[in-house]
A and B are shown apart, each in its own frame.
Chain A
Amino acid sequence: MRRLLLASLFLAASPVVFAASAQLTLELPRLDVSEYHRPYVAIWIEREDRSVAANLAVWYDGKEGKDANTGKAEPGTKWLADLRQWWRRSGREQTFPIDGVSGATRPAGEHQLRFDGDKAPLAGLAAGNYRLMVEVAREVGGRETASIPFAWPPASPQHLSAQGEHEIGKVRFDLDP
């Protein structure tokens, strides 16, 4: 009886807070350009008022690079402001690297990120309506943003997606209760 009670308590609580998870698949398109640099990418969750609820990932060149002409060292963070929307809403408030969020740039192709509802950065995300935001900016290339509205926590499995046009390929956002 006692065990049954505990089990039912757990079942009642679990869909709301504990087991929910999100899987993000971001496609960075292969581009046929003469000068290709891996793009800078910011992925975050924003509230309906556009304030930032959670930073999920920021990919940039964390090392110092050399300026092609002068040979002088330039920090990779110099170009973070090119992620214009993210920089304005969150980036300029941060110190780098951001623990658990900062990462190196990635090549063209599909990249998967998994987030558990009970761990950072999703832990503590209040129930409500949000937008997943993806911003991609490429040196001597273009810049693009994509967004996917979603409700958290998910009541049922959700398979959401958005399609970019030039710097972003397909974005899939799969939510499990």
Chain B
Amino acid sequence: MHRPTKWFALALAASLAPAAHAHKMFLVPSATVSSAGEAWVTFDAAVSNDLFHFDHRPAQLDALEVIGPDGKAVEVENRSSGRLRSTFDLHLAQPGTYRVALRSAGLFASYVDAKGEKKRWRGSAERLGEIPADAKNVEIGESQGSVNAYVTLGKPNDAALKPSGHGLELVPVTAPNDLVAGEPARFRFLVDGKPAANLEVTVIAGGTRYRDRQDEIVATTDADGGFSVTWPNAGLYWLHASLDGQKPTIAKAKERRLSYTATFEVLPQ
């Protein structure tokens, strides 16, 4: 088996790597631009084929992280997971921009066990012992990803948007809640804090159930990791990029697969 194909298959097998191929993981905020002194936004979180319908399974909320306009973590309320989607509420108590992220980090492996059967495994670094000591052809990969959404009360700010320097991260140049149909928006991708050059970025408008084509917009980042998107219409958009072959953070892993996904709301002129 050709090496990259094998790793791609592994990555596909690991649902830890979010939004691998057909199924897309996403957050849907009930509003992204709010006025008044405070506001509530409710979110849906799901893994689906159609954007942004719930047709497969709910997204797990255990690694949900919300950063508020002061750069500090904010707790969400009313978490619940149904058969097809999860949901939670976020109280916007102070003005500025909030970043909501479902983070995932983990390991996936393939090996041949003592009986000669090919097995697949996924888990965390602490659970690596679950792979039998007598396993052969053990190949371990690492994945890190995030599924994001941004909401703003009042005037936008960027304290919640500062990159951590770990994994694949989007740095908005255009404020993520200042997106208007027909106007270009600019962003940068960083990988472990450095520009992610030549990265392919896919953007798909919601409502795929009601049209015959995905109508993907594909952009490639420049040397500085930057790219622009001109939104053809108002609506919700799903943006995704992934990057294989990165140096792992865990010694036993062979490579690290990174992904970044976000939902953006684009308003009419």
Contact = CB atoms under 8 A, between A and B. Distances in A.
A78 B35 CA distance: 5
Given A84-B267, A88-B178, A88-B180, A75 B37 contact: yes
A84 B37 contact: no
- Across chains A and B, which 5 residue pairs bring their CB atoms closest together, nearest first? A80-B35, A81-B35, A78-B36, A77-B36, A92-B155
Given A92-B154, A92-B156, A93-B155, A85 B269 contact: yes
A75 B36 contact: yes
25 contacts: A75-B36, A75-B37, A77-B35, A77-B37, A78-B34, A78-B36, A78-B39, A79-B35, A80-B36, A81-B33, A81-B34, A81-B35, A84-B267, A84-B268, A85-B269, A87-B33, A87-B35, A88-B33, A88-B178, A88-B267, A91-B35, A92-B152, A92-B154, A92-B155, A92-B156
Nearest to A88: B178
Contacts, number: 32
Nearest to A78: B36
Contacts of B268: 84
Contacts of B34: 78, 81
Interface of A: 75, 77-81, 84-85, 87-88, 91-93
The secondary structure that dominates the B interface is loop
Most chain A CB inside 10 Å of its own CB: which residue of B35, B37, B39, B267? B35
Interface in B155-175: 155-156
Interface string B34-46: 1111010000000
Given A77-B35, A81-B35, A85-B269, 11 more contacts: A78-B39, A79-B35, A81-B33, A84-B33, A87-B35, A88-B178, A88-B180, A91-B35, A92-B35, A92-B155, A93-B155
Nearest to B152: A92
Nearest to B154: A92
Contacts of A77: 35-37
A2 to B, nearest CB: 54
Nearest to A60: B35
Contacts of B267: 84, 88
